[in-house]
């Protein structure tokens, strides 16, 4: 339940999306997602570091409740990073790049299997 380890593992799934995009011919979408992912993951790691420092080096997420009261600015910036990672549409970079990846996989002429797997 280490917060830094969870963030690092989420990068693996994002790299999978980038590879699917490259494989389906969506090179621009894959590179854009790489750049967007770098920015929002940096924001998340900075927020995690701030939380760990504020909680006296505690890294277990089960012991991190009520942060919106203790660290409201960190909470807000972390929420923005999480929404970008989740792919919330319209306002966050993760939503735009993931939409482009879905578009690239839906236009792959050989099969729609990559598109359906990306949706899952």
pLDDT in tens, 7-63: 999 999 899 999 989 988 889 999 999 999 999 999 999 999 999 998 888 889 888
| pTM for the full predicted model | 0.83
Task: For residue 48, give both structure tokens.
Answer: 């995690």
Angle, helix 27-54 to helix 93-106, in steps of 10 degrees: 150
Domain containing 64: what range? 3-119
pLDDT in tens, 15-24: 999 998 998 8
pLDDT in tens, 61-119: 888 888 889 899 999 999 999 999 988 887 888 888 988 998 888 887 777 777 787 77
Q: What φ, ψ does residue 24 adopt, rounded to 5°? A: -90, 5
Q: What's the rounded Cα separation, in Å, for the pair 115 and 10?
A: 20
Count of domains forming the chain: 1
């Amino acid at each position: 339940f280490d917060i830094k380890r969870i963030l690092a593992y989420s990068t693996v799934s994002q790299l999978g999306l980038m590879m699917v995009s490259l494989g389906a011919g969506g090179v621009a979408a894959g590179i854009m997602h790489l750049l967007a992912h770098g920015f929002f993951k940096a924001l998340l790691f900075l927020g995690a570091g701030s939380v760990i420092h504020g909680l006296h080096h505690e890294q277990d997420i089960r012991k991190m409740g009520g942060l919106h009261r203790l660290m409201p600015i960190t909470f807000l910036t972390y929420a923005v990073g999480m929404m970008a990672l989740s792919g919330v549409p319209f306002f966050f970079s993760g939503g735009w790049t993931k939409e482009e990846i879905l578009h690239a996989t839906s236009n792959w002429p050989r099969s729609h299997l990559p598109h359906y797997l990306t949706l899952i």
